[in-house]
Amino acid sequence: MDELIPEDEPCEQCGLCCRMFGPNITPTVPNVYVWMEQGRTDILRCFIACMEKSGPINCADLKPEDLGNVVSVEMRNPDTGDYVAVCPFLRRVTKERYLCGIHLVKPDMCCTYQPWIWGETYFNRCRGLGKINQSGKWQL
């Protein structure tokens, strides 16, 4: 979802994709590095890094030299370490409109999520995809 929507942007900011898939997003190591550089502990603490040579580490405790051993990054509740039911960065701004609270530095996976583009992640409940289908303009 984008905060600033260009006129031809199909996303209607309904938030459904974030509500359904948000807890399973897997940021890249470069995403984590950017958050480290920017001191975004508020974001880092919501993820754990699964390491090649040790057990999982909360991303807020990672050092830049650890990044080469990161196998994957997963979202967790920073207080309990449990899986989360909803992405903690999702913000409801009206009854039917949601925004991403970390839009400018959100994970690559969220930036490239465009169900209305042929060959990209298919999500038939996406309103943006529905809009494109109705107009007969499936984006290639």
CB 7, min distance to ligand SF4, A? 15
Total residues binding ligand SF4 (CB under 6 A) = 22
Q: Does position 45 bind ligand SF4 by CB under 6 A? A: no
Q: Which stretch binds ligand SF4 (CB under 6 A): 11-19, 49-57, 61-69, 132-140?
A: 11-19
Collapse the DSSP code of 91 into the 3-class scheme (helix H, G, I; strand E, B; otherwise coil) and give the result: strand
Q: Does position 13 bind ligand SF4 by CB under 6 A? A: yes
Collapse the DSSP code of 60 into the 3-class scheme (helix H, G, I; strand E, B; otherwise coil) and give the result: helix
Q: Does position 73 bind ligand SF4 by CB under 6 A? A: no
Largest CA distance in the chain: 51
d(CA 67, CA 117): 32
In the block, residue with structure tokens 């583009």: 117
- Other Cβ atoms closer than 10 A to 90: 16
Residues lying near ligand SF4 in the complex (CB under 6 A): 1, 11-18, 22, 25, 87, 89-90, 100, 102, 106, 110, 115, 126-128
